């Protein structure tokens, strides 16, 4: 099973080496990788399921929830909100990164503001077991912003952002050459992605 690449993920070599992070500047994180365009929400969450669960306490969840609301919080402000010192907050965050709980920091982009106002969910039934052609298409078509392999009648659920209906039609036509497709155009998001919540 192949999953879409996660360009915003922290470098695994860096996590393994536990490279110390610089203190953040007043406006941000200092040594963190630059934020990448990311339309959200699932890429980066499904990372080759199943996976070993990490035991988190209430403080860990408080850090996670604050960062999901605003990943650019200075460490001093993050510590103030969760009632820890900046050094203790930094150590907690390092442990969450090393454990693979926090996999990266990214920006959520409004597709319409960057010329991609048509958002669609495409379900694809792919015959057979050799999916290399689909993998190649996913790598080539930048309009495809997310791909999930799923159970049920469909093999894949794909999200695509296009500049127009004609543009979307071209993307769907390329997918339809690989298998049966069902396309739903998104009207709106009554509940935008809100992140993972603690117990």
CA–CA distance, 187 with 195 (Å, rounded to integer): 21
Domains delineated in the chain: 12-108 (1.10.10.10), 111-185 (3.30.70.920)
Query: Can you give the pLDDT at residue 25?
Result: 38
CA–CA distance, 83 with 102 (Å, rounded to integer): 20
In sequence order, which residues have a C-beta less than 8 Å from that of residue 20 and are 6 or more positions away? none
Torsion sign across C-alpha atoms 154, 155, 161, 163: negative
The answer on pLDDT for 29 being more than 90 is no
Angle at 155 between CA 38 and CA 178, to 5 degrees: 90
pLDDT tens track for 166-177: 999 999 999 999
What are phi and psi for residue 77, nearest 5 degrees? -70, -40
pLDDT tens track for 81-133: 999 999 999 999 999 999 999 999 988 899 999 999 999 999 999 888 889 99
With cut-offs at 50, 70 and 90, classify the pLDDT of residue 17: very low
CA–CA distance, 157 with 24 (Å, rounded to integer): 38
Query: Can you give the pLDDT at residue 4?
Result: 35
């Amino acid at each position: 099973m192949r999953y879409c690449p996660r360009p915003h993920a922290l470098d695994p070599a860096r996590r393994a080496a536990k490279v110390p992070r610089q203190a953040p500047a007043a406006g941000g994180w200092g040594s963190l990788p630059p934020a990448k365009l990311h339309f959200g929400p699932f890429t980066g969450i499904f990372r080759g399921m199943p996976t070993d669960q990490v035991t988190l306490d209430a403080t860990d969840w408080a850090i996670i929830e604050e960062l999901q609301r605003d990943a650019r919080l200075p460490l001093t402000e993050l510590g103030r909100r969760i009632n820890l010192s900046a050094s203790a907050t930094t150590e907690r965050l390092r442990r969450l990164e090393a454990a693979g709980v926090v996999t990266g920091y990214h920006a959520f982009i409004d597709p319409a503001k960057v010329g991609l106002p048509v958002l669609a969910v495409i379900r694809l039934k792919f015959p057979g077991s050799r999916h290399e052609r689909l993998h190649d298409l996913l790598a080539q078509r930048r309009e495809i912003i997310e791909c999930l392999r799923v159970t049920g009648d469909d093999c894949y659920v794909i999200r695509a952002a296009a500049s127009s209906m004609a543009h979307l039609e071209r993307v769907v036509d390329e997918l339809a050459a690989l298998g049966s497709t069902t396309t739903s155009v998104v009207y709106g998001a009554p509940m935008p992605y809100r992140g993972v919540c603690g117990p």
